[in-house]
Amino acid sequence: MTFLTKTRTLLAAAAIALTAAGGALAAGFELLDEAPEDAVIVNIDKMKYETPEVTIKAGEAVTWINNEVMPHNVHFLAGVVTEDAVRGEMLKKGESWSARFNEPGTYDYHCTPHPFMRGKVVVE
Ligand SMILES: [Cu+2]
């Protein structure tokens, strides 16, 4: 299965994530209802983000994909990307969640039920 095909199968899950976040989002951060083809991928497996630090340019997107049965999510604390916390819905195996970062900065996140799972997006 190509990445693009897989991505298309995940649109429904991403749409749920968009709804779940709710509230007003800062212009610098956008939840995406589909994974852009050129997004930087962060795979989740074996209780960790496989590339815990990724560096992107402003305007680029990151897609997290859970590759194991244990559900995980992506959770930014209040004040990191918006005034409110952004807590992605729990991803089942094969599901993804995508966001675009338009403002330079360092954005730390963790997994809600597994706070020892940590990662960061560095936006240049
Ligand atoms: Cu987790």
Range of the domain at 36: 3-123
- Predicted pLDDT at 9: 42
Please indicate, yes or no, whether the overall pTM of this predicted structure exceeds 0.75: yes
SS3 state of residue 15: helix
Q: Is the pLDDT of residue 13 over 60?
A: no
Q: Count the Cβ atoms, other than its own, within 10 Å of residue 91.
A: 25
**Which residues are designated catalytic?**
72, 111, 114, 117
Q: Is the pLDDT of residue 5 over 80?
A: no
How many folded domains does the chain comprise? 1
Those residues whose C-beta lies under 8 Å from the C-beta of residue 55, and which sit 6 or more positions away, are: 121, 122, 123, 124
CATH code, domain with 28? 2.60.40.420
The Å distance, Cα 119 to ligand 1 centre, comes to 11
The Å distance, Cα 53 to ligand 1 centre, comes to 16
Q: Is the pLDDT of residue 30 over 70?
A: yes
pLDDT digits (tens, 9 = 90+) for 39-82: 999 999 999 999 999 999 999 999 999 999 999 999 999 999 99
Q: Is the pLDDT of residue 24 over 70?
A: no
Q: Percentage of the chain surpassing pLDDT 70?
A: 79
